[in-house]
Structures are given as C-alpha cells and as structure tokens.
Amino acid sequence: MESNVLPATKTYCVKMQPISWTRPKLNGQQFFDGQIKAKVCFGLALQSQHNTDLLYSKPIAFNVTFYMKAPLKPKPNLFYHSCAPDLDNLLKFVFDAIKDVLITDDRIICSITAKKIYAKEARTEFTITEV
C-alpha cells in the first residue's frame, strides 16, 4: 500500500469551544487523564480533515487562533480575549489531542504563533507547516 505524501502546509478547523488543558486527576493512588473524551472528540474532528495523509514527523511551525465565544454585550473595540482560559493551557490541550492523529510527537514543533480572539462562532483553527 502506497503512503500519501504530506502537504508542506495544511490548515485545520475544529468547530467547538476551545478547551483548556487540565492536570491529570488522582483516583486513589493512580493518576488518570480526565480529558480523554474531549481529546478523542477533538481528534475525530481532525481525522476527516487529515484524510489518509501521513503523520507529521519532521520539524513544523504551528500557527493557531482560538476563537472564543463573544460576550452577549461586547464592549466597543473588543477583539483580543484576555481572560481565562490561559493561552498556554489551550495550546497544551491541542498538542495532546493532535499527537498520534496529525503529528508523531509535540517535540517536532519548533515554532509557535498563537492568539485568542472573540468571534461569533467558537472554534480552533491552526496551520501546520513543515520547516
């Protein structure tokens, strides 16, 4: 079976509220990932967009925008989302969710550009570029 060649750049969109990473939880004496279902849902939304392309395994640049649901009564000139959830925790969740779905490991990410802004429709959009 012949493998598909990865495009040098590919853009993805997950149309759901961006999710913030949380620490593993403790159940008795064992830790477990309390976000496994959310990560699987996120990954499934990406699989159809990735098709049968190979996983990215070479160094990549990652450019992401988190579109956060705008408040019912937005303030004038409100564009950037500057409250919880933290940008770094949003990134951690995405990196966990795309591992073994789009990328082999998050170690291959060598450049990150990220922002969170308000929008009518909550979603996460990102572009992966081989460098």
pLDDT for 32-79, tens place per residue?
A: 566 778 888 999 999 989 988 999 999 999 999 999 998 877 677 778
Residue 35 has a pLDDT of 76
| Contact assessment for residue 85 and residue 21, using Cβ atoms and an 8 Å cutoff | no
Residue indicated by tokens 């159809």: 48
pLDDT for 69-94, tens place per residue?
A: 988 776 777 788 988 999 999 999 99
Residue 2 has a pLDDT of 44
Residue 25 has a pLDDT of 63
Q: Is residue 4's pLDDT more than 70? A: no
Residue 78 has a pLDDT of 78
Selection from 20-24, 40-44, 115-119 with the highest mean pLDDT: 115-119
- Under CATH, what is the fold of the domain 9-130? 60s Ribosomal Protein L30; Chain: A; (3.30.1330)
Burial of 60 (0-12, 13-18, 19+ CB in 10 A): buried
